[in-house]
Structure 1
């Protein structure tokens, strides 16, 4: 591939100055430009890497033209070198990058130009990299928009039929005319349909939270409400919990916690569902709600197979899940990703502790309601 030589303008009334520089600068294409008007025209056609502006150039003063040239986007990487004696101050004030005496020999001038050419080359390379990275960023943003639209479309298109199927399966399961062996199959189909509904909704909510589009609707949550939220979350998980021993303990007289009950219900449903998936029939699931200092602690523990240590660091990432599960069901990992985003949106945190063969405990914290607005709400509730 033929390399393109960098272009150097010599704006001067005498072409001899351009010829002398060309002889001392074989690695560049030196172009003589006789005046300001020619400079405006030539710079538009062939943006130079470096332009030497001789202060004694007749016609329109170069100090008046230079500010206009510096505003052009195509000349952003051009370096302007003022050459002369008396008029250099005006060129410097107009935006010249460097000054040099017109008594400087061609070899010295060529050395100065080479330095500016190196800077221009570095600027051009940086601009190329920026353009390439911007192109990648644009492609990524386009893919993210398409992905968001696809997820949104899929969830909304799937949610209604899945809900309808779930309702029909509940009706069939409760029908006394259904044989007992068939009822068990209907129960399995109902649980799997419930799982599919959770998967789709979690995908949408994770995308919303990552984009900052999900807004919490916090309320003051007391001990009885925590019990109600847990009961609703258990109902969301489905009939599979009938085969597990679920022990719920909510400390009495808890100080009010500001949280979105519906989002908290979804978080607990995901954690309880996760515990159920990792325990065999007859396994134990323990749910505890208490307070320590200025935080409410909620834990969901099971005595299942536990999670391999190497899976723990990425457990809350989207599309990640433990490779060791008892249910053998495909999962997107969106449930735990949703839990982490939702808890952090509340100002809390969530973590997991697990031991192979012993069980797993997920714990989340929520800050107590302590500001004046919360105190007013509390008084209003008691009055």
Structure 2
């Protein structure tokens, strides 16, 4: 049995003396004399060699016929095959030999070649070990990530219903004439914060759905009037905080039909308007513009808030990221903008942000126009 720390060298030849000559000059390497191809196939499975010398004149089954089979074995992936001889080397090279050397080479020179291949084999084993460690770490990380995702999904999914119930109760209290005005204001704040919590939960669920490919769009033809309706609904979703802001909506008339899911579009608008709300002060201006831009519809949501530092822009649409420079102290996961990015890209559009510190921010996204066949369907529906 070879030592675990000693590399194994096979000398495949009917002449055992060739192996005996290498033993004293290879130092710590374990040298095995292999008489023929059949023995090579058997022993290579039991003691995988780091280097195998294949003498082209070995009797019996030609080594060029078994070498391709050996190279397919996973346990021999790090083995280096050295063809030795004066004739027949071309067949071994074609069969997968890594190097060639003459059988007239002195043992010392042959040993130098073998040592060089042993060093390569050692590096290969080291790299395989590192790759194995990284693979195990990756598998552990993936397992932990799946467990975390499942836990988050269960928690967030189970939170939706009680949060919605609390919102409903707060609305009942808010509409009760017996509630004093100062208390009513506190109820409004509680309602807005509960609504924000619900948005966080829904965004986390939807981001996970899109990433898992489980959110299926229901696209429709969206014209100018529907854009206005969707924006109005989205502003209503944001909550009472917009009462302290100026909202300017400009939807170009007679827009070419856009292909989009109205419900998801409403969510995109709500998240962008909510983001603008968080970055503006009381009396601030939020502008929403929808216009035609060549072969797509372009939507912009602008605010006159504090702006976003340039260093924050590259990671703005990543989950759990948000600008460090904000006017609010509310916790935010950054899921709203992450959802916007994934949802827009799911539609086949693009989204980006433009900002200058101290001069507000503009979030712009595009949506594809309906194809000609979809336009024809709409014309037929009207006629």
Fold shared, TM-score > 0.5 on shorter chain: yes
Alignment map for 1:6-85 (pairs within 5 Å): 6-26=7-27, 28-58=29-59, 61-85=62-86
Cα distance change, pair 77–250 in 1 and its aligned pair in 2 (3 A)? same
Q: Which residue of 1 aligns with 2:178?
A: 177
Q: Which residue of 1 aligns with 2:218?
A: 217
Cα distance change, pair 268–55 in 1 and its aligned pair in 2 (3 A)? same
Q: How far 1:85 moved relative to its partner?
A: 4.5
Q: What is the rounded CA distance, in whole Å, between the counterparts of 1:143 and 1:26 in structure 2?
A: 47
Moved more, 235-244 or 101-110: 101-110
Aligned residues: 381
Cα distance change, pair 13–361 in 1 and its aligned pair in 2 (3 A)? closer
Q: Which residue of 1 aligns with 2:305?
A: 304
Cα distance change, pair 63–254 in 1 and its aligned pair in 2 (3 A)? closer
Q: Which residue of 1 aligns with 2:380?
A: 380
Q: Which residue of 2 aligns with 1:207?
A: 208
Q: What is the rounded CA distance, in whole Å, between the counterparts of 1:316 and 1:295 in structure 2?
A: 22
Q: Which residue of 1 aligns with 2:110?
A: 109
Deviations 1:235-261 (A, max 9, x none): 111122222222222121111111111
SS across alignment from 1:271: helix
Matched, 1:329 2:330: yes
Q: How far 1:124 moved relative to its partner?
A: 2.5
Q: How far 1:232 moved relative to its partner?
A: 1.1
Q: What is the rounded CA distance, in whole Å, between the counterparts of 1:321 and 1:67 in structure 2?
A: 56
Q: What is the rounded CA distance, in whole Å, between the counterparts of 2:340 and 2:362 in structure 1?
A: 14
Q: Which residue of 2 aligns with 1:366?
A: 367
Q: Which residue of 2 aligns with 1:135?
A: 136
Unpaired runs of 5+ residues, structure 1, are none
Cα distance change, pair 293–89 in 1 and its aligned pair in 2 (3 A)? closer
Moved more, 4-13 or 334-343: 4-13
Q: What is the rounded CA distance, in whole Å, between the counterparts of 1:97 and 1:349 in structure 2?
A: 50
Q: How far 1:346 moved relative to its partner?
A: 2.1
SS across alignment from 1:296: strand
Unpaired runs of 5+ residues, structure 2, are none
Moved more, 99-108 or 181-190: 99-108
CA RMSD of aligned residues (A): 2.5
TM-score under structure 1 length normalisation: 0.90
Moved more, 317-326 or 328-337: 317-326
Q: Which residue of 2 aligns with 1:274?
A: 275
Q: What is the rounded CA distance, in whole Å, between the counterparts of 1:166 and 1:39 in structure 2?
A: 76
